[in-house]
Amino acid sequence: MPLGPFYIVDTTLREGEQFIHAHFTTDDKIRIATALDRFGVEYIELTNPATSPKSLEDVRAILRLGLRSKVVVHIRCHRDDALRAIDSGAPGISVFLGVSPYLRRFSHGLDVEAVIDRAAEVLTLIRTEAPHVELRFSTEDTFRSPWADVFRVYLAVDRLGVVNRLGVADTVGIATPWQVYSMVRTLRRMTRADIEFHGHDDTGCAVANALAALRAGATHINTTVLGIGERVGITPLGGFIARLYTLDRDLVRRKYNLALLPELDRMVAEIVGLEVPFNNYVTGSAAFAHKAGVHTKAVLHHPAVYEVLDPTDFGLSRSIAIAHRLTGWHAIRLRANELGLDLTDEEIRQVTAQVKALADERPITLEDVDEALYRWVQARVPVSVTSRGRADGG
Ligand code: HCA
Ligand code: CU
C-alpha cells in the first residue's frame, strides 16, 4: 500500500528543547535547523517566542536563514503568546490546549466549554491578524480525554473555519496504534482539516503510532532527531524514516537526503552531550553489524537476507564481526581473503575450529584470528602467502 502525501514537522528545536539534557545556544539552533533543512524535513517547529527574549531572537535568527523548511512556532492558547508569535514573523503557528480531565483540573482549570471559548478567541485573533499564517490547533493529552470532549472541541474549532490543521497529541505516550488509528480516522471523516500527530514514547509505541496515524489519513507527523523531548521523548526522525523506508523506499529516498541522517544524529548527540545509542535506528553502532556465523554467511552472499535497510542509502556500511565463538567459516574465509592468504575450504574450516576453541577460553580480537590464519599458513611448506610482514616472519 503506497504512502499518501505526508509532511514531517520536526520539533527538535521545540519538543527537543524540553529534553532534560538540551540547552541550545543560538548557534546550536542554527546548526540543527540548517541540517534539518538539508535533510529535507518539510517543517521545523520552534520554541514559543514568548518563552524568553532569547527565544524570540532565535526564531528571528532562524527565519533569516531563509530555509526551504517552513518554520512554525509552538505556543500556548493565550492571546499574549499569539501576538508574540504573529510579531515573530513565523509563517506557521501551532497552538495547543489541554483537554484531558488531568489538565483541565491540575493545569489550566477550564471546563470543556471554556476550552472551546478560549480556542475560538485565540485562533480567530490569529487568523484576523495574520490571514496567511498556517494555523494548527492541537488538544494536549488527547488520548486521556473522553472522546466526547475531544470531538466537541475539535468540531467547534473546525467549524470556526480558521485553522489549517488539527493536532492529535499523545502527550504521555499511552496510546496504542489502534487507538491512534481510530482517533485519526474519525477526525478525518468528521472534519475538513489536515491532521498532525505528535506521539511520546513512554511505552515504546511512538514510531508505530506515527505510522498508524499516517495510515489513518494524518498528513503531518512530528519527529525529533534521536527522539529527544520531555522524559523519553517522541517519535525519532531516524526511526520514522526507517519505518517508512521499507514501505515505500523510492518515495523516502526522493523526499529526504538520507545520507545526511548519520551526521544529523551525531550532531544533535554531540550538542546535548551524549552518544548516539548503540541500538539507534539506522545510525547506532550496531545497526548494520552482523555476528553469528549463520547470519554472516548469508549476508556475505546477499545482504538483504538479514537487512531490511540498505546501509549505503544512508552513506553507511555494514560490518561483519569475525572474532568470537559464534563465528563461521565464511567469515574466516572473508578475513583470509582480506589478508591476501590463500587457504583451501578445508584449511579455513580447521582455522575456524581453532578460533572457536580459543574464543571459548577467553575473549578474542581480530588480531587473534589473523594470527591463527598466519600461523596456519606459516606451518605449511612451502609458504604461500602474499608479502605481509607477519607472514614473512617479521
Ligand atoms: C507538552 C505539549 C506537547 C504539545 C504537542 C502538540 C504534547 O506537553 O509539552 O502541540 O501537538 O506532548 O502534548 O508537546
Ligand atoms: Cu510533546
Task: Indicate if the pLDDT at residue 28 is higher than 60.
Answer: yes
Can you give the pLDDT at residue 2? Answer: 76
> Atom 12, ligand 1: which residue's CA is nearest?
171
Can you give the pLDDT at residue 386? Answer: 53
Q: Does 394 reside within a domain?
A: no
> Atom 11, ligand 1: which residue's CA is nearest?
169
Torsion angle of alpha carbons 300, 303, 306, 310, nearest 10°?
150
Mean pLDDT of 278-285: 98
Q: What is the separation of C-alpha 133 from the centre of its chain, rounded to a whole number of angstroms?
A: 27
Q: Which atom of ligand 1 is nearest to the CA of 198?
A: 11
248 lies in the same domain as 352: no
Task: Indicate if the pLDDT at residue 343 is higher than 80.
Answer: yes
Q: Which of 243, 271, 299 is the last residue of a domain?
A: 271
Can you give the pLDDT at residue 142? Answer: 95
- What mean pLDDT is reported for the chain? 95
251 lies in the same domain as 319: no
Q: Does 1 reside within a domain?
A: no
Can you give the pLDDT at residue 382? Answer: 58
Place of cell 545520507: 259
188 lies in the same domain as 336: no
Q: Is-catalytic flag, 21?
A: no
252 lies in the same domain as 296: no
100 lies in the same domain as 17: yes
CA of 242 from ligand 1 middle (Å) equals: 24
Mean pLDDT of 210-225: 98
The amino acid present at 163, given as its one-letter code, is: V
CA of 131 from ligand 2 middle (Å) equals: 27
Q: Which atom of ligand 1 is nearest to the CA of 141?
A: 13
- 3 or 355, higher pLDDT: 355
Task: Indicate if the pLDDT at residue 259 is higher than 80.
Answer: yes
Task: Indicate if the pLDDT at residue 389 is higher than 70.
Answer: no
Total domains, the chain: 2
- Residue 250 DSSP SS3: helix
CA of 90 from ligand 1 middle (Å) equals: 19
DSSP letter for 107, please: I
Can you give the pLDDT at residue 394? Answer: 32
Mutate to test the pocket of ligand 1, among 196, 198, 223 (most ligand atoms within 8 A of CB): 198
Helices 112-129 and 79-88, axial angle in degrees (round to 10): 30
Around ligand 1, the residues with Cβ closer than 6 Å are: 15, 18, 74, 94, 96, 138, 140, 167, 169, 171, 198, 200, 230
CA of 341 from ligand 1 middle (Å) equals: 59
**pLDDT tens-digit profile of 160-216?**
999 999 999 999 999 999 999 999 999 999 999 999 999 999 999 999 999 999 999
Say what percent of the chain tops pLDDT 70.
96
Can you give the pLDDT at residue 105? Answer: 84
211 lies in the same domain as 294: no
How confident is residue 380, by pLDDT bands cut at 50, 70 and 90? Answer: confident
Question: Cis ω on the peptide bond leading into residue 262 (within 30° of 0)?
Answer: no
Q: Does 285 reside within a domain?
A: no
**pLDDT tens-digit profile of 135-158?**
999 999 999 999 999 999 999 999
66 lies in the same domain as 207: yes
Can you give the pLDDT at residue 381? Answer: 64
Task: Indicate if the pLDDT at residue 222 is higher than 60.
Answer: yes
How confident is residue 41, by pLDDT bands cut at 50, 70 and 90? Answer: very high
237 lies in the same domain as 337: no
Q: Which of 295, 302, 324, 330 is catalytic?
A: 295
- Calpha distance 317→97 (Å, rounded): 45
Mean pLDDT of 342-370: 97
Q: Identify the domain containing residue 116 by its residue range.
A: 7-271
Q: Does 141 reside within a domain?
A: yes
23 lies in the same domain as 71: yes
**pLDDT tens-digit profile of 298-331?**
999 999 999 999 999 999 999 999 999 999 999 9
Which residues in 365-389 are b (16+ Cβ under 10 Å) and which e?
eeebbbbbbbebbeeeeeeebeeee
242 lies in the same domain as 304: no
- Calpha distance 191→218 (Å, rounded): 12
Mutate to test the pocket of ligand 1, among 81, 140, 195, 231 (most ligand atoms within 8 A of CB): 140
**pLDDT tens-digit profile of 55-106?**
999 999 999 999 999 999 999 999 999 999 999 999 999 999 999 888 888 8
Q: Which atom of ligand 1 is nearest to the CA of 74?
A: 10
Q: Which atom of ligand 1 is nearest to the CA of 94?
A: 10
Can you give the pLDDT at residue 392? Answer: 41
Can you give the pLDDT at residue 393? Answer: 38
CATH code, domain carrying 304 = 1.10.238
- Calpha distance 104→60 (Å, rounded): 33
Q: Which of 222, 241, 271 is the last residue of a domain?
A: 271
